[in-house]
Structure 1
Amino acid sequence: MSWMPPDLPSAARARLEAARVLVVGLGGLGAHVALLLARSGVGHLVLADADRVEAANLSRQPYFPEHVGRLKAVALGELLQRIRPQMGVTLVPQFVAPDALPRLAAGCTAVVEAVDDAATKAALVEAAVAAGFRVVSASGIGGVGAGLAVRRLGRLVVVGDECTPCAGATPPLAPRVTAAAALQADVVVGWIVGNDSGTED
């Protein structure tokens, strides 16, 4: 069964099938990014996250009630295998320290940063860029209704509204989180097939 549009050029098809992408953080952003990359035909995903699915996650993350309490990496790996049994999936159900990232990303076309903690986010992005990887990150995904930007900063592309929601603001809800994840996935697919996404800073 082919997951590629029949009119997709053979060169783009081959690049997608040969691509390997590391996704760090498998919450609302990272899990959706992984699903979108799988459906786009990316050949191999490396999924890294030490957390377990919580009931409160289900409002904005693509897990199901039966996944509550299970490791996100394992639950997501199973979902991906149901979508495309032939794709490659490497599970890393552990915290990714910045100094370990280059090893995990070896052979990857891109790194998707999708963690919540700001300090960890910055350290992972810095480590990935310093090691020569292309990185797509997310910043300030909160509230509802505001626009999302895609900005290019050399090998780094940042998706989001780039602001922290004020106290009392609506927390991130499924539509906004999924929209940001779709933009992140689109950037990665653009890199793979040779059509860079984003705007110059």
Structure 2
Amino acid sequence: MKKLLTTSSMVLLSALLLAGCTSNNTTHEQPSKKSEPKKETSHFTYTDQKGWKFEAGDSQSPVDIVPAKTEMMKDPGKLKLDYDSSILDEVDNGHSIQVIDKGRATIDGRQFELEQLHFHAKSEHTLAGKHFPIEAHFVHQAQDGRIAVIAIFLEAGKENQAFQTILTNLQTKKKNKRSTS
């Protein structure tokens, strides 16, 4: 089995990240108390894409990152990641491997709680037109409902113990499911 390692450049898809964190409004209005009710997001899926709200338009995925046109984050300190090493649950939904975990990302001072992470084999997005073998999406949500997705391309390399734990747990679940069916 090929082992996985994050690509040395650990590409963060800033286009996706910033789409959930920024607004293209030029005025700074306070949120209205009559704002629409927050949607239930305890389980993000691809089944209700028409109901998703995007601040940066509705054409956001897939993204081809073109290095010559990419603006690097000027202050990497504005992005802080803090993830728990424990895994609460894993699900192979046929579309991707989804992991429920704890953690948070702080982006420009705004805190986003990790809702789930999932993997796509081959990558959903590309770097200069190139797909990667696997892409991980860390899906976060802020208290005000804004969503930030941090994506990381993965490729074959040294063994990654965290990823191996996820695969082992999924295999055990599948064996247990077959034996109880």
For normalisation by structure 2, the TM-score amounts to: 0.27
- The structure whose RCO (Cα within 8 Å, separation 6+) is larger is 2
> Comparing both structures, which one devotes a greater share of its residues to helix?
1
For normalisation by structure 1, the TM-score amounts to: 0.25
